Amino acid sequence: MNPARKRTVRLVVALSAAVALASALIYTSFSVASPALSPSQLVRQAQPGRSYQLTGTVVDGSVHRQGSELDFSVEDRVGGTAIPVAYTGTVPDPFREGREVIVTVQKHPGRFVGERDSLITKCPSKYKSAPAGEKQNY
Partner 1 sequence: MADLGRICLLLALLVCVYGIGASVYGARSGRVEFSDSGRRAVYALAIILTVAFAVLEIAFLRDDFAFNTVADTSSRTTPAFYRAAAVWSSQEGSLLLWAWLLSLWSSLALFLVRRRMREVAAYATAVLLGFGAFFIALMIFYATPFATTSPTPAEGVGLDPLLRFPTMMIHPPMLYSGYTLCTIPFAFAMGALLARRVDADWIRATRRFAFAAWLFLGVGILLGARWSYAELGWGGYWGWDAVENASLMPWLTGTAFLHSLMIQEKRGMLKVWNVSLVLATGTLAIMGTFLVRSGILNSIHAFGGATLGVPFVTLIAVLIAGSIYLVVSRREMLRSEHRIDSLLSRESIFLANNVVLVGLCFVIFWGTYFPLISEALTGHEASVGPPWFDRYTVPLALLLVLLSGIGPVIAWRRATLANARRNLVAPTLVALIALVSLLGAGLSGKPFAIAMFCCAAFVLGSIGQEFFRGARARRAMSGEPAPVALLALVRRNRRRYGGYIVHVGIAVLFVGVAASSSFQHASEVGLSPGKSTHVGAYKVTYVRPTATVTPRNDVAHTGSTLSLGALLDVSKRGHHVATLRPSQGYYDSGEPSQGSVGHLIGGQAVSHISMSGGVTRDVWTAIAPNISTPALQRIVTVGNRTLPPDEAEVAIGFLARAYLKDPPPAQFHLIVSPLVMWIWIGGAIVFGGGLIAIWPAPSAVRRRVAMRSRARAAHGLARA
**Site residues (CB under 8 A) for partner 1, limited to 30-49:** 30, 32-36
- Decide if residue 2 touches partner 1 (CB under 8 A): no
Smallest distance, partner 1 to C-beta of residue 65, A = 8
- Please name the amino acid found at residue 137: N
- Decide if residue 123 touches partner 1 (CB under 8 A): yes
Smallest distance, partner 1 to C-beta of residue 6, A = 9
Q: Which span sits near partner 1 by CB under 8 A: 72-80, 105-113, 125-133? A: 125-133
**Residues comprising the chain, all counted:** 138
- Decide if residue 121 touches partner 1 (CB under 8 A): yes
- Please name the amino acid found at residue 79: G
Phi-psi region at 18: left, alpha or beta (left = phi > 0; alpha = psi -120 to 50): alpha
What does the alpha-carbon distance between residue 54 and residue 121 come to, in Å, rounded to a whole number?
12
- State which residue, 27 or 84, has the beta carbon closest to partner 1: 27
Choosing from 20, 23, 77, 93, the residue that interacts with partner 1 (CB under 8 A) is 93
Paired residues of 52 in beta bridges:
105
- Decide if residue 133 touches partner 1 (CB under 8 A): yes
- Decide if residue 118 touches partner 1 (CB under 8 A): yes
What does the alpha-carbon distance between residue 30 and residue 23 come to, in Å, rounded to a whole number?
11
- Decide if residue 62 touches partner 1 (CB under 8 A): no
CA geometry: angle at 28 spanning 87 and 52, to 5°? 25
